Structure formats: structure tokens, C-alpha cells
Amino acid sequence: MLVELRDSDFPYVRVGIANRWVPQVSSKRVGLVAAGKTWTSADILRDHLALRQRFGGARLVWSGHWTTFSGPDFWVTVVGPAQPTAAEANR
């Protein structure tokens, strides 16, 4: 399901967010130990879906598709709208 969400979000991300700044509200990978647990794909999906309900513009990206991320194996939830600078995105 993560791959399907990523794929369905990709056209919007490519056109509306790429090369701009957006807040990153979650970044998880399978096997990550954080918040008192070891994260699984199912945990990451639940986390992302909860964020999607909380933030209407939330999108899922795979860090390996983007050179701006230092780790290539993270599921990243970003929230629009995109901004031209980091300062504006993090307001």
C-alpha cells in the first residue's frame, strides 16, 4: 500500500512540490527504532494515513527518488503548499 500511495502522489509531487520547500512531518524506514518501537511497513502506513487525515495536503514520497534526502530508504510524509524558501515552508 505504501508503494501505491507513493505512486498516486508522484504526479502531484513532481509538478507541485519538486524543487520547492515543503514541511516534512514524518520520515520513517522499515527497521527504524523510534518512539519506543521498531517500525514496520504497517506502522509506517498507519502513521502516514493518520497524518493524511490531519493534514489535507499530505503526500508520501520515497527518499530514494530525490537527491535532496541523505538516506535512500525512507518513507517521507510532506505537507504542502510548496514554498520558495525553507524559512517560508517552516512557518
Comparison of pLDDT for 6 and 67, the residue scoring more: 6
- pLDDT single digits (tens) 29-71: 999 999 999 999 999 999 999 999 999 889 999 999 988 888 8
Nearest Cα to Cα of residue 29 among 11, 19, 46, 41: 41
Predicted pLDDT at 78 = 95
- pTM > 0.75: yes or no: yes
Element (H, E) at 28: strand 24-28
Report CA 77 to chain centroid distance, whole Å.
Answer: 2
CA atoms within 13 A on the CB side of 54: 11
Kindly tell me if the per-residue pLDDT of 81 is higher than 90: no
**What's the whole-number mean pLDDT along residues 66-87?**
90
- CA dist., res. 78 & res. 61, Å (int): 8
For 34, the enclosing helix (H) or strand (E) is strand 33-34
